Amino acid sequence: MSIVLDTQGGDNPPAELIRGGLLAADEYGIDIIFAGDEAVIQPNLPANDSRFSILHAPEVIAMEDTPAETVRRKKNSSVVQGIKAVRQGRAKAFVSPANTGAVMAASLFGLGRIKGIERPGIAMALPTTTGGKVVGIDMGANTDSSAENLFQFAIMGRVYAHRVLGVEDPKIALVNIGSELHKGNELVKQARAYLETLPGFVGNIEPNRLFHGEVDVAVCDGFIGNVLLKAAEGGVAITTSVLRKTLTERFLYKLGAMLMRPALRQFRDAMSLSNFGGAPLLGVRGISIITHGNSNAEGIKHAIRVAKDAIDCDLLERIESRVQEHITDGVFEKTK
C-alpha cells in the first residue's frame, strides 16, 4: 500500500513532515511517496529503502493563493501531482498539510465527484469527553452550502462513522443554536426536513454539547463547521492559559504542579490538535486527507493513519454504494 505525502505547504519545514512519513511507514507497514522538491527530500530519507520514493513536484502552493486558479496554474505543484498519482493508481491516498482550498480544488479537478454528491465535505473525527469520537462534516470545504449539500454530508458522515470509527448505528445530528425545532437560520430549517428522512437522525445538537458523546455525526455548513472548530480550539487555549497562570501564583501550587508535571504533559498531548489531525475530504473519487497546516511529525503520522484506515475499510466504495442506494430509493428526488 502506497500513500503520497505532500512535504510542502505546511507551517513546518519539509524535514519535519518527512519524519512523520518515516514514522508512519515503520508503524503501519506502508510505503510512502514523498511529493515535493527532490533536492530537499532526498537527504532526509534513509539510503536504499525500497519503501520510500520521491515524486519530484517542486512548485509550492502558498496559504494566500486563490485555490482554483492556483491549482490550474501550478501544474507541477506537490498538491496537483500528488492527486494525479492517486488518480493514476500509483498511490491509494494523498495526505497534505497545504492550503485546504487548494487541496479541495485539486481533489475535485483531479479525482472528480462521487455520483450523486454535489460538493465534497471535510469530515473530522473530534474527541469527546466520553473517550469516543464525533464526526463533524463539513469542517471547512464549502461556505454557503445548500440544504441538499448538508443532506449529502450526513449520508457520507454516517458511512465514515460506521465503517472507519466502527460505530454500529451512528446517530446523526444537525448543528444548531438550540434544541427546539423553530430555532436556527434558514439553512438549518430547510436541512432539517431533509435530514429527517435519514436513518439515525436524532435532531439538533448545540456546539457546547458536541463533545459529550451524545451523537456520532454532526452536520453543518463548512463556514459554521470551521468557526465551531476554531472556537473550540480557542476555548481549550484560554483554559490552559488561565490554568498555567493560576498554577504559578503561589509556592504550594508550584509544588503541586511539579508533582503533576507528567500528568499535565499527558493532558497537553491529549488536547493537542495533532492527535486528532487528519480529515478526509469525502465526496471525491479517491482518498484525500487534509491535515492542520501546523502539523508536526506526529500530526502527519496520525493523518497517514487516517488514510490507511480509510483504505483498509474501503471507505470510498462504501460511500459510493450507500449514495447509490439513496439514489435508487429516490431519496435524492424527494429532496428536490
Distance CA 223, CA 143 (A): 5
Q: Which residue has the cell 450523486?
A: 116
Coil vs helix vs strand at 317: helix
Q: How far is the CB of 296 from its own copies (least distance, A)?
A: 17
Interface characters, 77-106, with its own copies (x: CB under 8 A): ------------------------------
C-beta of 246 vs 324, nearer to its own copies: 246
From candidates 10, 82, 110, 207, binder to its own copies by CB under 8 A? 207
Stretch touching its own copies by CB under 8 A, among 20-28, 46-54, 104-112, 203-211: 203-211
Instruction: Report residue 255 as a C-alpha cell.
Output: 509544588
CA 15 to CA 40: how far, in whole Å? 8
Q: How far from each other are the two terminal CA atoms of the chain, in whole angstroms?
A: 40
**Residue 9 binds to its own copies (criterion: CB under 8 A):** no
Give the footprint of its own copies on residues 124-143 (CB under 8 A). Answer: 127-129, 140, 143
Per rule CB under 8 A, is residue 325 in the interface with its own copies? Answer: no
Show contacts with its own copies in window 224-253 (CB under 8 A): 224, 226-243, 246-247, 249-250, 252-253
Stretch that binds its own copies, among 25-33, 35-43, 206-214, 320-328 (CB under 8 A): 206-214
If you count DSSP H runs as helices and E runs as strands, how many of each does the chain have, helices first?
13, 11
**Could you tell me the smallest distance in angstroms from the CB atom of residue 205 to its own copies?**
10
Interacting residue with its own copies among 1, 198, 202, 264 (CB under 8 A): 264
**Nearer to its own copies among residue 250 and residue 334 (C-beta):** 250
Contacts of 279 (CB under 8 A, 6+ apart): 122, 123, 124, 125, 139, 289, 290, 291, 306
Distance from CA of residue 327 to its chain's centroid?
Answer: 26
With contacts defined by CB under 8 A, name the span among 37-45, 59-67, 79-87, 163-171 that binds its own copies: 59-67
Residue 271 found at the interface with its own copies (CB under 8 A): yes
**Residue with smaller CB distance to its own copies, 42 or 294:** 294
Instruction: Tell the smallest beta-carbon distance from residue 227 to its own copies (Å).
Output: 5
Options 46, 208, 330, 333; binder of its own copies; rule CB under 8 A = 208
Interface with its own copies (CB under 8 A), residue from 258, 275, 294, 314: 258
Q: Name the residue nearer to its own copies (CB basis): 23 or 257.
A: 257
By CB under 8 A, the count of residues binding its own copies is 63
- The residue behind cell 505543484 is 77
Binding flag, residue 213, its own copies (CB under 8 A): no
List Cβ neighbours of 159 (8 Å cut-off, separation of 6 or more). 315, 318, 319, 322
DSSP string, 63-109: TTS-HHHHHHH-TTBHHHHHHHHHHTTS-SEEEE-S-HHHHHHHHHH
Using CB atoms within 10 A of its CB, is residue 34 exposed (0-12), middle (13-18) or buried (19+)? buried
Give me the residues paired with residue 205 across strands.
175
Three-state SS string over 142-173 comes to CCCCCHHHHHHHHHHHHHHHHHCCCCCCCCEE
What phi, psi does 204 have (nearest 5°)? -85, 155
Q: Is 150 in the site for its own copies (CB under 8 A)?
A: no
Q: Which residues bind its own copies (CB under 8 A)?
A: 63-64, 66, 127-129, 140, 143-144, 175, 177, 180, 182, 184-186, 206-212, 221, 223-224, 226-243, 246-247, 249-250, 252-253, 255-260, 262-264, 266-267, 270-271
